[in-house]
Amino acid sequence: MNKIIKLKGELYDLSRPKVMGILNVTPDSFFDGGNYLHEQSLIDQICKMIDEGADMIDVGAFSSRPGAKLPSLEEEQARIEPALNRIRKEFPDVVISVDTYRSQLAKMVVEKYGIDMINDISGGMMDEKMIPTIAELQVPYIMMHMKGTPDQMQTNPHYENMVKEISLFFSSQLDKCRQVGVSDVIIDPGFGFGKSLNHNYELLEALPQLDLLKCPMLVGVSRKSMIQKVIGTSPEESLNGTTVINTIALLHGASILRVHDVKEAVEAVALVNQYTNSNLPA
């Protein structure tokens, strides 16, 4: 599988997994909502993540937690622009991704702030102009699978064959990407987005099957309910569980871990990398 993408005009190797730090500039995210609405707290958090080894930062201005009401374009833009303006002044060389499903916002942040990557929870399904816009912008595209929309996705999600349905979704969307010239695509199977607890663990076991799509894979399980429900914790108490699931994801082919806690994810990558390399033929 090809794990090299073009990023910032250069080839970027994902064969050794990378860590993406989460920065939510929202009042209502499930774990850190409201923590980084002020400039200094935002800058301090980015400094912390970079010091701990983050390879990239994902900035989001809306909450996609189950049941969340999505903000208007104007509200999303008003939240994210001040953050990006300060981030780009302070950290001009850091790889920055923006989490949005709106093509209009994607175009603005790339052209105005030089954003390096777009992370779309809907995989192009909530805005039909997103994939053509990515083709125009020529930036890497993180395409996530979500069954439904955030406000109702966890209302009794049902699949006849979940892994097959997800694979077919990606195949169809990747074909749309190829038709318009989008070549640097990272897939995200969408843990917790229209999946029951059992679906999430079935998907975790099946991650190697997604290698057939020949795309790097991002996994985002950080402090999610799929962890809390099993070990009886809150989001605040789910760091250890997150590290366990991240480790399984790395062993099953994840190229990027999207996390709230960078240090622990970087350590997991280092340990799994040592383990897999030590098992290579001499």
Residue 145 makes CB contacts below 8 A (sequence gap 6+) with 123, 166, 169, 170, 187, 188, 189, 190, 193, 194
- Tell me the CB-side half-sphere exposure of residue 72, using CA atoms within 13 A: 3
| From 8, 107, 224, 229, the catalytic residue | 224
- CA distance linking residue 260 with residue 21, whole number of Å: 6
Torsion angle in degrees (nearest 10) through CA of 120, 125, 127, 132? 80
- CA distance linking residue 254 with residue 250, whole number of Å: 5
- CA distance linking residue 273 with residue 126, whole number of Å: 36
CB 42 within 8 A of CB 84: no
CB 57 within 8 A of CB 23: yes
Cα 253–chain centre separation: 15
CB under 8 Å, gap of 24 or more: what pairs does 198-203 form? 199/157, 199/159, 199/162, 200/226, 201/226, 202/162, 202/163, 203/162, 203/163, 203/166
- CA distance linking residue 119 with residue 55, whole number of Å: 15
**Among this protein's residues, is 224 annotated catalytic?**
yes
Supply φ then ψ for residue 72, to 5 degrees.
Answer: -70, 165
| From 16, 223, 258, 263, the catalytic residue | 258
> In this structure, which amino acid lies at residue 274?
Q
**Among this protein's residues, is 258 annotated catalytic?**
yes
b/e 173-202 (16+ beta carbons within 10 angstroms → b):
bbebbeeeebebbbbbbbbbbbbbeebbbe
Catalytic residues: 224, 258
